[in-house]
Amino acid sequence: MANVLTGRAWVLGEHIDTDVIIPAKYLITFDPHRLAPYCFEGLDPSLASKIQPGDIIVAGHNFGCGSSREHAPIAIKALGVSCVIARSFGQIFYRNAFNRGLPLLESDYPAGSIRTGSRLRVDLDGGRVENEATGEVFEAMPIPAFMQELLASGGLIPYVLQQMARN
Amino acid sequence: MGMTLTEKILAGRADRDRVRPMETLSVRVDQTYADDLGGPITFQILEEHGVRRIFDPDRFFVSAMVNAPSKSIEVANTIGKMREFCERMGVERFYEGGNAGIHNCLAVEEGLVLPGELLAGGNSHACTGGGVGAFATGMGSTDIAAILITGRTWLRVPETIRYIYKGELPRWVTGKDLILFTIGKFGVDGAQGKAMEFAGEAIARLPMEERFALPNMAVEAGAANGIIEPDEKTLEYVRPRARRPFTPVYGDPDADYAALHELDVSGLEPVVAMPHLPSNTKFLSEVGGVAVDQVYIGSCTNGWMTDMRAAAEILKGRKVAKRVRLIVIPSTTQIYRQCLREGIAEIILDAGGIFSPPTCGPCIGAHMGVLADGMRSVSTSNRNFVGRQGSAKAEIYLVNPSVAAATAVLGRLGSPDEL
């Protein structure tokens, strides 16, 4: 995984919940390619078709609140989204995303400073988000050490199996 | 400085004398479970990694509950694979068909989550288990797979917020109203990443089953877990069900809380969560006569025996309003049977309602009452997000079972006092 990502922003709102990210009617499958077209359907059914690989989701508080369905990060990742930046995350979603290798950054970016279409440069290790057009730089919480270990191991299961082999 | 109930349970499961909030711990898991949404992902992960044995088949159970009984060939195939997986791994507790139930309720009812224990279930409403004084939290499929491999998980010790409910609850005000009121006051991220500890005389007076609504919806305030200290009522409920010995755990008197909130509930009215967030609350009298198309009484929040009786008390000898589809769904087979014994099923059918075997169905827009465009649902479940029960163009209002039953008769949101 590249530690510096660049991509186009999609600015979404507050409390984007897992039912909006992927409604339960699609959960009869967990095939990423079948889920992706319906991602964010509850917000805007055409959004999934507009999001391009490498794009970055930017949201408000509590992104991913609600269900434990891992289909939510699976669908977001399947769209090619490289990371999600939000003011805060629902905590089950937070775990699921890292377990699936989708990085998340918590940042208290100023309202209005990032717009849909803004090109962002995101330094995951340093916890920095830069709006390339305006040159503004926003601090983000560095990804916790444990989450970095998970990402480096390739996710939770390889991490757990490596730990068991070591012990 | 002492530890809160949540901290003490986590310290015990980490084999430590003490822990502090924000520490990341590896903890032993006493019980876990999976359903037909998350379970298939968990099992695929285990198969991909060649895992042939799970840590303890007795500490794991599986319930086909969301799209079950199978609503399609694809679902039937998935559930078939889940059953095969359980047989291969020696998992005896596979709930489907004649013993089906919503796993968050089964865990409590079957004595599989116990005071002082640590439950990590594959469903966000696994936090329901906090109602017996356990640390109970929901997780996704990969976390459950890791637990099945190691018997352990990692947790960040949450800070605890203590909510103290004082006073006596007025008629028609229930545990469900207490949690809706609390989420309305503090917001859907009011306890983000925290433990919500529910206490006070109003909680002590609640029947066990009504208590469960509070930790059940703790996740709707962003909490890691909700918990109620076990009292004599808890132990009376748990003792005959417990599948293994247990030791209740209590918080220290000098424990350090992140916040204490005292709430006087004497003047409370039934609460309605308006579309589209559980925090968007109003008192019932402030809502006005919102006409409804569907009333759903059930889910892991309010499909308990207490809830079935409350609904039946209102519906007895009355008829559901013409345009309303009333669906009543007990959360487990034991509750379903009890409804048959007590004549509750008949009361609901006589009123013109639908009485269904246990399933999550309508709560999650899976089957059995999916909402069409423009439909308005009054529901005793826990979430009213956009598209939760079907169409993204539908509306969901969350209430307690008595208000839901009265609404079904009135054809609009209203109080049992109006009947």
Nearest to B124 among A23, A62, A92 (CB): A92
Could you tell me the end-to-end alpha-carbon distance of chain B, in angstroms, rounded to an integer? 53
The predicted pLDDT at position B114 comes to 98
Cβ–Cβ gap B124/A20 under 8 Å: no
The predicted pLDDT at position B222 comes to 98
pLDDT along chain B (419 residues), means of 10: 96 98 96 97 96 96 94 95 97 95 98 98 98 98 98 97 98 98 98 98 98 98 98 98 98 97 97 98 96 98 98 98 97 98 98 97 94 98 97 97 98 97
User: Which residues of B sit in the known binding site for [4Fe-4S] cluster?
Assistant: 300, 360, 363
**How many Å apart are CA A87 and CA B147, to the nearest integer?**
29
Cβ–Cβ gap A88/B189 under 8 Å: yes
Cβ–Cβ gap B388/A19 under 8 Å: yes
Residue A88 to chain B, least CA–CA distance (Å): 9
Residue A86 to chain B, least CA–CA distance (Å): 14
pLDDT in tens, A58-90: 999 999 999 999 999 999 999 999 999 999 999
Cβ–Cβ gap A15/B142 under 8 Å: no
The predicted pLDDT at position A151 comes to 85
CB-based contacts of B252, cutoff 8 Å, min separation 6: B2, B3, B4, B8
The predicted pLDDT at position B1 comes to 85
- Sort out which chain B residues have CB atoms less than 8 A from A43's CB and list them: 386
**How many Å apart are CA A125 and CA A128, to the nearest integer?**
8
The predicted pLDDT at position A2 comes to 57
pLDDT in tens, A92-113: 999 999 999 999 999 999 999 9
Residue B380 to chain A, least CA–CA distance (Å): 17
B262 vs A: CB within 8 A: no
Band of residue A154 on the pLDDT scale cut at 50, 70, 90: confident
Cβ–Cβ gap B386/A88 under 8 Å: no
B77 vs A: CB within 8 A: no
Residue A100 to chain B, least CA–CA distance (Å): 8
Q: Per-residue pLDDT averaged across A2-9, rounded?
A: 91
- Sort out which chain B residues have CB atoms less than 8 A from A166's CB and list them: none
Nearest to A157 among B45, B66, B75 (CB): B45
- Sort out which chain A residues have CB atoms less than 8 A from B24's CB and list them: 144, 146
Whether A1 has a pLDDT exceeding 90, the answer reads: no
| Phi, psi dihedral angles at B258 (to 5 degrees) | -70, -30
A4 vs B: CB within 8 A: no
Number of other CB atoms surrounding residue A32 within 10 Å: 16
User: Which residues of B sit in the known binding site?
Assistant: 300, 360, 363
Query: What ipTM did this prediction achieve?
Result: 0.97
